[in-house]
Homo-oligomer: A and B are copies of this chain.
Amino acid sequence: MVRTSTQRPASTTTSQPLSGIRVVDLTRIYSGPYCTFLMALAGAEVIKVETPEGEHLRHRNARGGAGLPFAMLNANKRLVTVDYKQPEGRALLMRLIATADVLVENFRPGVMNALGLDRDSVRAVNPRLIYASTSGFGEEGPYRDLAAMDLTIQALSGAIATTGFPDGTPVKTGPAFGDFSAGIHLYAAIVTALLHRERTGEALSPEISMLESMYTSLCSNLGAAMSGKEQRPSRTGNRHGGLSMCPYNVYPTTDGQIAIICSNDRHWDKLTAALGRPDLGEDLRLKTMEGRVAHMDFVDSQIAGETAKQGKDALFALLSKSGVPCGPVRDLPEVMADPQLRHTGMLKEVNHPEYGSLVLPHTPLRYRGEPRADYVPSGRLGADNETIWTSLGVDAEEFARLREAGII
């Protein structure tokens, strides 16, 4: 059972691997906030800095009604406001940065310079600071100044060209793969830099390009495209990207679909037995992967004919028991109710102070036998202003004046 705390995040959590690390977080929307969410759930003290209007995502959710994305990505963070476009606000932010181990930002290249928050200015007040950035393309190269968002990076990276059916329109991936790939790579680079600083004293500046972070995930497709044997389709629907395995597809059921793979001949034997089709298992043309691949349309149609007779969950149970790799195509309410994700504590129902009852995720970065960190739901804009700014020496009078002036 995962404990859920009603307290705002404490500045010290002694039992997690990043405890004692202070992070100033200027990021917005998805890529940067996912990175700092993982840091916060690993015990870092993440101070999310918003301008007094609040992050755009708060308002987008207010329109949509759910608040779910903001709540998902901003748990366990301290929340402060400061208008760092004004000189006094920038000075206050600098005082905070002077106390930090890590600064994280995901503005377009050049914006931090325009704000007077470029790496040199910031490291002048804090030479040990790890200054971490992510953007569409990184800080150099012909595309550096282009605006980038998940969809445009999916287009440029080849993700769209390789998704969809061969005779259909290419389509983006449903998950925001570009944003989240950048976010987890940024976490990886920051922690690598923290380790390097611990070992050598030197503070590196991690810099993640969304475009670069997606490339290697296309290795099956790139291999097929380069195999040179024949013209390969750039999209293979739900079939194997290299069209070199069969069965490998998504098949119809009475109430949806199920994904089934036979990556070797034993799986094929088990599948045909479980579906009550020994005739297929005994068919000499289909005994080997090569044979099944050569008769892919026939195999797929025969398997589909059998799966179409049953429900997806019954098939999942039947084929799993038989040792055939498979998985029902789950819609989102089913995913949120998944017994595995509930069992491990990855998902839990939280009574969120602003948004009511929500299903919220913990971190996938787990260590065997170690308890999950206490979960602290995201809070209202500026929830930790008093705690944080006071700790930097801002007294009550000054605090009132800054609030009055719209600086915090």
Query: Which residues of A are interface residues toward B (Cβ below 8 A)?
Result: 17-18, 30, 34, 37-38, 42, 60-61, 63-69, 72-73, 119, 131, 133, 137-143, 146-149, 151-165, 168-177, 179-181, 184-185, 187-189, 191-196, 198-199, 204-209, 211-229, 234-235, 237-238, 241-242, 244, 248, 250, 257-259, 261, 263, 320, 323-336, 338-341, 343-344, 346-347, 358, 361, 364-370
Contacts and interface: CB of A to CB of B under 8 A. Distances in A.
A378 to B, nearest CB: 12
Contacts of A213: 364
A316 B315 CA distance: 47
A130 to B, nearest CB: 10
Contacts of A208: 364-366
Interface centre among A63, A73, A327, A370 (most CB of B within 10 A): A327
Interface centre among A160, A242, A330, A369 (most CB of B within 10 A): A160
A330 B155 contact: yes
Number of copies: 2
A369 B224 CA distance: 35
A227 B65 contact: yes
Given A65-B229, A364-B212, A171 B34 contact: no
Interface centre among A198, A215, A334 (most CB of B within 10 A): A215
A161 B335 CA distance: 10
A140 B155 CA distance: 38
A152 B326 contact: yes
Given A172-B238, A207-B367, 20 more contacts: A64-B242, A66-B224, A66-B227, A68-B219, A141-B339, A146-B320, A147-B320, A151-B238, A151-B259, A152-B327, A156-B327, A156-B328, A158-B332, A162-B175, A172-B259, A185-B365, A189-B367, A207-B366, A207-B368, A209-B346
B170 A250 contact: yes
A367 B244 CA distance: 38
Nearest to A185: B364
A402 to B, nearest CB: 29
Contacts of A335: 156-158, 215, 218
A365 B206 contact: yes
